[in-house]
Amino acid sequence: MNLISTPLLAQADPASAGAAPSMERVPTVSERAAEALQHGIWGAAFYIVIGLVAVLIVVSVLGLVMSYIERKVAGHFQCRLGPMRVGPHGILQSLADGIKLLFKEGIEPGHGDKVIFIGAPIFSITATILLLAIVPVAPGIQVVDMNVGVVYIAAVSGIGVMGILMGGWSSDNKWSLLGAMRAGAQMISYEISLTIAILVVVMFSGTLRVSEIIESQQQGWWIWRGHGVAIVAFCLYLIASTAELNRTPFDLPEGESELTGGYHTEYSGLRFSFFFLAEFANLFVFSALATTFFLGGWLPFHIGDYEGFNRVMDILPPVISPLFWFGIKCTALIFLLMWFRWTFPRLRMDQLMRLEWKVLLPFGFANLILAATVVLTGLYFFPTAT
């Protein structure tokens, strides 16, 4: 069955590299750089600069667009209009806010540790930029595609905690410190559930490379193919990533009624905007990774080898198709996370810890064992030949 459908898929959608084994992979930016290195150092430098500039542009554009969307979504959830004054429907609002932030004075607390205070936002934004490098937007539109991509994601997302802890401690303010400790405890705890949820997909696809995880979903996204196991893993991932992002209902680190602003109370101007940008870019990164792991990344919606349906889904031209599908899935997930914010009340600290250690973690482990059984018996839908 697989053999029949493969040429058809390749014909309809040559951009999805995994469609046929004969299709050559589109190289990522880092692979192009490595290839250019064979001919000279300047070609490689050119690609490295392209990668860096692209990631920087993505970070700043994400900050602008997502803060606008967040305010609009929040407004409409509360039967308000959201920002309306600056530009038509307020679309220039975040630009105006950005300019205001740039010109604000960067205030430093008198008694804190200044070096750490200045370094903390840089740590935060570095972790985000490193994470963005591995997000696969479309074939070839990815900065690095390491063969240990999932390990890289787990490792790098741990660095972000450091920035928050450093920022809270060096502010020399008890609310900042409390917020930082809460954020640290929360992020370390929920990282375990996050990793366990991702491990289910790693087990299904049998690879740690992000692009191969996407290609393994050619026959259907893992959230469908893995029966209930993948759906449980997806829910675990969503809960854990909301906690990882410090968003409501897990936004205790900046619970404004008790901690004023949490770890970034003392920050202002450009340094505050680094924390702010990191937060919004992380929202995108975690949605993009959920798309990659559970919703087939840039692949269109396919049902096994139901050819008629698959061909309708492949109707978009190959250049636009991956961008369209990735965009639509990622946007839907971002909207879902924003929806959470206006649906669930904030948890208390002990409830938060109990949820992770007494509910999510046992569920995650049981789910992992169940997933291993599913993989061993080949029970999932549309089992591939490989």
Partner 1 sequence: MHDGAISTVFFYLFAASSIALALGVVLGRRLLRSAICLIGVLGSSAGLTLVLGFEFVAGIQVLVFIGGIVVMLLFAIMMTSQGHTFEQQPTLRRRVAGATVAAAFFTVTLSAYLNADFPVPTAEQLAVSHEGADEIGRKLLSNQGDGYIVPFEVISLLLLSALIGGIVIARKHAPEDEESDQDQGLANHPSDVGR
Closest approach, Cβ 337 to partner 1, in A, equals: 23
Distance, in Å, from the CA atom of 385 to the CA atom of 2, rounded to the nearest integer, reads 7
Please report which helix (H) or strand (E) contains residue 220, including its range: none
Closest approach, Cβ 129 to partner 1, in A, equals: 15
- Contact between 316 and partner 1 per CB under 8 A: no
Given a contact cutoff of 8 angstroms between Cβ atoms, the answer to whether 274 and 124 are in contact is yes
Distance, in Å, from the CA atom of 325 to the CA atom of 299, rounded to the nearest integer, reads 7
Distance, in Å, from the CA atom of 132 to the CA atom of 153, rounded to the nearest integer, reads 10
DSSP 319: T
41-77 and 29-37 helices, crossing angle to 10°? 170
Please, which of residues 351-380 interact with partner 1 by CB under 8 A?
353-354
- Contact between 200 and partner 1 per CB under 8 A: no
Q: Which residue in the set 90, 184, 226, 255 belongs to the binding site for partner 1 (CB under 8 A)?
A: 184
Closest approach, Cβ 259 to partner 1, in A, equals: 11
β-strand partners of 141:
138
- Contact between 323 and partner 1 per CB under 8 A: no
Distance, in Å, from the CA atom of 380 to the CA atom of 228, rounded to the nearest integer, reads 10
**Closer residue to partner 1 in complex, CB, 34/332:** 34
- For the residues of 176-199, what is the DSSP string, one character each? HHHHHHHHHHHHHHHHHHHHHHHH
Binding mask 131-150 toward partner 1 (x if CB under 8 A, else -) reads: ---------------xxx--
- Contact between 165 and partner 1 per CB under 8 A: yes
**Closer residue to partner 1 in complex, CB, 65/185:** 185
Closest approach, Cβ 248 to partner 1, in A, equals: 19
Closest approach, Cβ 295 to partner 1, in A, equals: 24
Rg (CA), the chain: 22
- Contact between 320 and partner 1 per CB under 8 A: no
Distance, in Å, from the CA atom of 46 to the CA atom of 228, rounded to the nearest integer, reads 46
Chain contacts with partner 1 (rule: CB under 8 A): 37-38, 40-41, 44, 111, 113, 115-116, 119, 146-148, 151-152, 154-159, 161-162, 165-166, 169-170, 172, 174, 177-178, 180-182, 184-185, 188, 191, 208, 348-350, 353-354
